[in-house]
Structure 1
Amino acid sequence: MFTKGTKLYSILTATCPRCQEESMFKNKNPYILSQALSMHDTCRHCGLKYKMEPSFFYGAMYVSYAVGIAFAVAAFVISYFVFNAGIDMIFISIIGTLIVFMPIILRLSRTIWINFFVSYNPEASKK
């Protein structure tokens, strides 16, 4: 399930969806905010152009919304059912979770979006 060649592998490791050899992002640390969304133009192994067309990653905003909702629901479930928090603390925990995980959510949404359009090709990594 989490082996090379699956979309899940490419999404969670943020590697090129075609060859899964190289990271799509220039800096692996998403918490360096000035470089959080800084991506390579192309993959050095297979030559995949990441921005396939102008404004390609605008669609990732819709994915980002869904991923943000998933993180918010997880924060609600943990704070309400595990810690028996009140409504004010639940609200604070949801907002805090979204702020802390924002760089991860943004990167995750971009990798999910590009994986909608590009499939793994084992021959691409041999170039």
Structure 2
Amino acid sequence: MIRKGMKLYSILFGACPKCHQESMYTVKNPYILSDTLKINDHCSHCGTKYRMEPSFFYGSMYVSYGVGIAFALAAFVISYILFESSMIVAFISIVLTLLCFLPIIMRLSRNIWINLFMSYDKSLVKK
């Protein structure tokens, strides 16, 4: 069970890495493409600044490569091994998977990147 206080919670749901009380993103739906990467300046609950430096999230590009490989590998295993399709169909399924999940991959990469540098602080959560 994934719950607040776990790093995985912040990574999967895009919650503030310090308090887990609100989303880092201005719009929760990643498929509104014009707003996919729009992020709040800071957390309104705990005041955590999301952009520690001007080009902080450039590092998430390295993470997105690994996340994209994981999605592509999953698409390959499902299409080629489970459904026993041809190599061409497997390739097409990889491309379609990466295109369909691109907004999620971009957000997931940013979430992983910021969570490498920040940790949950339970003292920030008001009971």
Q: Into which bin does the TM-score normalised by the smaller protein fall?
A: over 0.9
Letter in 2 for 1:17: P
Matched with 1:23 is 23
Matched with 1:119 is 119
Matched with 2:106 is 106
Shift of 1:125: 2.7
TM, length-normalised to structure 1: 0.97
Matched with 2:12 is 12
Letter in 2 for 1:103: P
Shift of 1:115: 0.2
Matched with 1:79 is 79
Shift of 1:87: 0.9
Identity %: 63
Aligned residues: CA RMSD: 1.2
Shift of 1:75: 0.2
4+ residue stretches of structure 1 with deviation over 6 A? none
Equivalent pairs, count: 127
Letter in 2 for 1:28: K
Give per-residue Cα distances to partners, 1:69-89, cap 9 Å, x unaligned.
000000000001111110110
Give per-residue Cα distances to partners, 1:13-36, cap 9 Å, x unaligned.
110000000000010100000000
5+ unaligned residues in a row in structure 2: which ranges? none
CA distance in 1 between counterparts of 2:37 and 2:120 reads 22
Letter in 2 for 1:92: I
CA distance in 2 between counterparts of 1:56 and 1:18 reads 17
TM, length-normalised to structure 2: 0.97
CA distance in 2 between counterparts of 1:54 and 1:112 reads 18
CA distance in 2 between counterparts of 1:125 and 1:58 reads 29
Give per-residue Cα distances to partners, 1:18-73, cap 9 Å, x unaligned.
00000000101000000000010000000000000110000000000000000000
